[in-house]
């Protein structure tokens, strides 16, 4: 079920992006909604698991490492993860660099899923909600380029989608071979990635710094959805590592 959800979140997002990709406002709204959801999952689910783990190590360093890692990956993806894509500069985004950046990003997010106690955990839904708008933008970019025939998309386009869809499941598979005691460290790194992406989307300045009520409403909706999931999620089986 977990692997199926991860793959479907990418495939469905790409499909929507292919056919509705020219509606940039829709993509932006999806990103804002997912950012509200993601930052709430990060603060209510990921960080509590990180900071209640008795590792004897300052896990905050790994959170910072996640933030820095995401900043480095954005040099490859050009900010794809938080909607920094415009058709007029698409030639600046090399498919190979985009593929590598998105793969590493999604692969690392998948590693902690190997040790999640609940199959349909809020952490998993955080990744799913995060994948949808990214995949939407990815589908719009790959299948609506001017130099690409809509009837016969190029081979690299399908390769990029396939690798992105399989990245988190592959990370999850690799996570099975790690000592479960390393879970807090991987969660801390992913928490840093989540924190950076969601905060950039939420706190980006509006035009002329006017209040954007739609943006505020979408963030509140995303936060509310995550809070509802948090309330109905059983936290009694969270493992404290020694």
pTM: 0.84
Position 155 scores a pLDDT of: 60
Name which of 165, 154, 161 is nearest 138 in CA terms. Answer: 161
Residue 108, pLDDT score = 95
Tokens standing for residue 154: 């190029």
* CA distance linking residue 157 with residue 139, whole number of Å: 9
What is the share, in percent, of the chain residues with pLDDT greater than 70?
A: 83
Checking if the pLDDT of 99 tops 80, the result is yes
Structure confidence by residue, pLDDT tens digits, 144-178: 765 454 445 556 788 889 999 999 999 999 999 99
CB 66, CB 190: distance < 8 Å = yes
Supply the mean pLDDT for the chain: 83
Check: CB of residue 170 under 8 Å from CB of residue 2.
no
Output the CA torsion 215→106→112→128 (10° steps). 40
Which residues are CB-neighbours of 16 under 8 A, at least 6 positions away? 135, 136, 139
pLDDT at 72 over 70: yes
Angle of helix 24-41 versus helix 213-232 axis, rounded to 10? 40
- Cα of first residue to Cα of last residue in the chain, in angstroms, is 30
């Amino acid at each position: 079920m977990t692997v199926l959800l991860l793959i479907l979140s990418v495939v469905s997002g790409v499909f929507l992006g292919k056919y509705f990709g020219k509606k940039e406002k829709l993509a932006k709204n999806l990103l804002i909604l997912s950012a509200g959801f993601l930052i709430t999952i990060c603060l209510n689910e990921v960080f509590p698991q990180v900071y209640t783990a008795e590792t004897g190590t300052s896990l905050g360093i790994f959170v910072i490492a996640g933030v820095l890692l995401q900043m480095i990956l954005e040099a490859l993806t050009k900010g794809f993860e938080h909607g920094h894509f415009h058709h007029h500069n698409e030639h600046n985004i090399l498919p190979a660099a985009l593929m590598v950046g998105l793969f590493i990003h999604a692969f690392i997010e998948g590693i902690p899923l190997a040790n999640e106690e609940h199959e349909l955990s809020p952490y998993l839904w955080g990744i799913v909600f995060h994948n949808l708008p990214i995949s939407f933008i990815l589908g719009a970019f790959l299948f609506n380029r001017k130099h690409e025939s809509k009837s016969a998309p190029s081979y690299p386009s399908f390769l990029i989608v396939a690798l992105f869809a399989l990245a988190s499941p592959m990370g999850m598979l690799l996570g099975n071979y790690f000592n479960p005691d390393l879970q807090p460290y991987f969660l801390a790194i992913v928490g840093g990635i989540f924190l950076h992406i969601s905060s950039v989307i939420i706190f980006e300045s509006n035009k002329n710094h006017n209040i954007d009520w739609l943006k505020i409403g979408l963030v509140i909706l995303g936060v509310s959805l995550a809070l509802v999931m948090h309330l109905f999620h059983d936290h009694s089986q969270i493992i404290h590592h020694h």
